[in-house]
Amino acid sequence: MSMDIYYGRRRDLDAVMEIERASFTDAWSEEGVAASLEDPDGGLLAASEDGRLMGYAIFHCSFEDCELYSVAVSPVCRRRGVGRELVSAVIHEARSRGASRLLLEVRRSNLPARAMYDSMGFTAIGERKNYYDAPREDAVIMELEL
């Protein structure tokens, strides 16, 4: 696989929204995703192959913390390491911005994502009750010390 990872651009918005809606029952709004493209303290990292968007990760850094807000991979590209590559790219960006830890929330029931984060060195540090809607579910808070 010859995957390119780059900062997403406005022209990626339609493809990002298609993946967002296919991946989450409580999808971000197009305005929210568009704002992440302009975030000087983070952004949207996109993964593509042969000009086709495969997935993306949205993150934001503030002082010593960086938060991974969202990672999504197109259903036809899953189980190919795209999510892992995107999270690795966010880890690199967080370190380069001086962050000392990367935080995220993940649905308690999302066992594939939790297993990936565990394998990358993240540890569960807490939970947020009823954090997600559609369906209502707790979030596991995970942290990676950088």
User: Active-site residues: which are they?
Assistant: 105, 117
71-110 burial: b if 16+ Cβ within 10 Å, else e:
bbbbeebeebebbebbbebbbebbeebebeebbbbbbbee
For residues 103 and 125, give the distance between their C-alpha atoms in angstroms, rounded to a whole number: 10
Q: Indicate the SS3 state at residue 39.
A: coil
